[in-house]
Chains A and B, each alone.
Chain A
Amino acid sequence: MDITQNILLTIMTAATPLLIAAIGELVVERSGVLNLGVEGMMVIGAVCGFAATALSGSPWIGMLAAVAAGAVFSLAFGVLTLSLAANQVATGLSLTLLGLGLSGMIGESFVGSAGVKLGSLHIPVLTDIPLIGRLVFGQDPIFYISLILTGGVAWFLFRTRAGLTLRAVGDNHASAHALGINVLKIRYLAVMFGGACAGLAGAHLSLVYTPQWVENMTAGRGWIALALVVFASWRPWRVLGGAYLFGAVSIGQLHAQALGFGIPSQFLSALPYVATIVVLVIISRDRRLTLMNTPASLGRPFVPDR
């Protein structure tokens, strides 16, 4: 148990839910849909993951339930904004409100009950390697999933035909439609993927981070994930960098306080936000490139002309 490894582990644990939720939202936004309901889907994932774990006794079932719950919940957003072409901003916000309220109701009987933690990986010998053993071979399953997701999404978006189609839909839905692409179907799938990711991020909170259920336990993490997507200019690996930077500064400031440097704590608390914004703005300062990465149809409803 050396301290550097402990600190790095804490940072990764703090960054993982942000990363997963942001990667999901990135795919949604790349398809041209702005879903501000990440916080709501995340909290639904957290409560369903916890509840399913408590009822079944298996955190794995809980994790799957959270993914499913997030995807199903995002369908409510999909039906309203895609099939009925409702305003995406307003619908996303109400999804968050609904999620927070609904999760409180679902979770009422689970408050205070002991949680089951999704166990961390343990490979004899490998996990016990000093300095890096637990970082590489001793983390929770959702951490590994988050890395696979990031790599998978980067590959899918920029290396596959389906990814190209999805980006085309996000850039110009009218042209994509004219080319015979089923815009709404692709957007539905993207929205559900985003919901599933948010649900998984929620499960990380209630099954790994702090294995318990309390109301509003996401505490704004869904909003941070949303911001990360924009500041990372819709690029998966930048989202990963942003999430880890945010995690590192958040944990670093707690350590700075505990060391008693005497820096005002209000300033330290604001630091993760400031640092992440500054860094991501600097790396995205090439406006042409940023423009190229911004989904041009973002937030615009698509009504197919029959």
Chain B
Amino acid sequence: MKKIVFALAATFAATAATSALAADPYKACFIYVGSKTDGGWTQAHEIGRQYAQEKLGDKVEMVALENVPEGPDAERAIERFARSGCGIIFTTSFGFMDQTLAIAAKFPDVKFEHATGYKTAPNVTTYNARFYEGRYIIGQIAGKMSKTGVAGYIASFPIPEVVMGINGFLTGARSVNPDFKLKVVWVNSWFDAGKEADAAKALIDQGVDIITQHTDSTGPMQVAEERGIKAFGQAFDQIKAGPTAQLTAIEDTWGPYYEKQIAAAMDGTWKGGESSWDGLKDGILTMAEYTNMPDDVKAMAEATEAGIKDGSIHPFTGPINKQDGTVWLKDGEVSDDGTLLGMNFYVEGVDDKLPQ
């Protein structure tokens, strides 16, 4: 059914796009996996797009297509954009990776930017944020705040990005409480408020007193608020859904990156085949206000944030063991980016078997 919605949406977008082709401004196009107003991942991209539009003004015309499902259908949406005269196309979800590359090969003159992927091409650049830095900080907070020593993690799909987030969170928690445990529930969806809320309830019923999520709705935050436990906002400040529950949120700030890349595409300095992976220090990632926590925890979180920004702290610094107890990083060893981007194993302390 989503496919039909999508097909219609794509058709409308394509017609709208073709009719606007006559105009002069440079055209930048965005493909979103969710709704512009999801209060999470996609909304953060939309705000970034609006920021870039404001900065670049009339020189750029922007088109965004929302609710595009991941998988083969995305290919049609991207192709329609490519045909309709888009100079640069941003595909903003991991699941658009292969489709982006397939279309990029057919349209060598169009520039492509794929978010959170690991494959590039002469006209495909990837961009990502070091979300694990933020997850390390919230992990530390969880380690301090949890009384039971067990946190619950609502996860979407077992892709490296999500696994990296889980490991980042647990590594942070274990840096302050070496016995910290993590329960993981996969909901196999990026966005299903009801199911995410059910997962949160299941985790709380099993004794976790802090939840965090790698899914996009505010469902879990609401449950946390209702049950009187703590939680962390995802991709977006979710304090409205959990005024007494949210400790902080990892906020994505894509605006400056979009502005820079579109400007580069317009003046011909854009480069393909690059991989941009910035973090807290570059401002692509920011932490929402640390709140609902004692001052010493807040001070610790701020110190860690400062440490990550100045480079004195790298979340994945040994000694860290894999889940089965074998050594992943020796004492003082820092993980390389390649391992992180292809992460397919848990660190020690995760109470779950990684779906393969």
Binding site for B on A (CB under 8 A): 3, 6-7, 10, 14, 39, 93, 96-97, 100-101, 104, 108, 111-115, 205, 209-212, 214-217, 219-221, 223, 250-251, 254-255, 257-260, 262-266, 269
Contact = CB atoms under 8 A, between A and B. Distances in A.
B261 interface: no
- 4 smallest CB-CB distances across A and B, nearest first, come from A262-B353, A265-B186, A215-B35, A111-B37
Interface in B214-240: 217-219, 222, 240
Interface of B: 1, 4-5, 8, 35, 37-39, 67, 152, 158, 183-189, 191-195, 197-199, 201-203, 205-206, 217-219, 222, 240-241, 351-353, 355-356
Contact of B185 (A10, A39, A258): A258
Given A211-B222, A214-B193, A260-B352, A265 B5 contact: no
Contacts of B67: 215-216
A14 B193 CA distance: 12
A260 B183 contact: yes
A57 to B, nearest CB: 17
Contacts, number: 124
Given A205-B194, A260-B184, 20 more contacts: A10-B202, A14-B194, A100-B5, A115-B222, A209-B194, A209-B197, A210-B193, A212-B219, A212-B241, A214-B37, A214-B38, A214-B218, A216-B191, A217-B194, A219-B189, A219-B191, A219-B192, A219-B194, A259-B206, A266-B188
Contacts of A10: 198, 201-202, 205
A39 to B, nearest CB: 7
A258 B152 contact: yes
Given A6-B201, A264-B355, A214 B217 contact: yes
B221 to A, nearest CB: 10
Given A210-B193, A260-B351, A269-B186, A251 B202 contact: yes
Contacts of A263: 353
9 contacts: A3-B205, A6-B201, A7-B202, A101-B5, A104-B35, A212-B193, A258-B185, A259-B206, A269-B188
A100 B152 CA distance: 32
A254 B355 contact: no
Contact of B352 (A97, A113, A257): A257
A265 B355 contact: yes
Contacts of A211: 222
A210 B222 contact: yes
A9 to B, nearest CB: 9
Nearest to A14: B198
Nearest to A36: B1
Nearest to A117: B226
Contacts of B222: 115, 210-212
A97, A114, A265, A269: which has the most chain B beta carbons within 10 Å? A265
Residue among A210, A211, A221, A263 facing the most chain B CB atoms (10 A cut-off): A210
B186 A257 contact: yes
A254 B198 contact: yes
A104 B36 CA distance: 10
A266 B355 contact: yes
Given A10-B201, A264-B355, A257 B185 contact: yes
Contacts of B197: 209-210
A212 B38 CA distance: 11
Contacts of A257: 184-186, 202, 352
B235 to A, nearest CB: 13
Contact of B35 (A14, A214, A265): A214
Contacts of B192: 219
Contacts of A260: 183-184, 351-353
B345 to A, nearest CB: 14
Contacts of A269: 186-188
A14 B241 CA distance: 20
B193 A219 contact: yes
B78 to A, nearest CB: 21
Nearest to B182: A260
A10 B219 CA distance: 14
Given A212-B218, A259-B206, A223 B1 contact: yes
Contacts of B206: 3, 255, 258-259
Contacts of B195: 219, 250
Contacts of A6: 201, 205
Contacts of B191: 214, 216, 219
Contacts of A254: 185, 187, 198-199, 202
Contacts of A205: 194
Nearest to B153: A258
Given A6-B205, A111-B37, A217 B193 contact: yes
B193 A112 contact: no
A6 B202 CA distance: 9
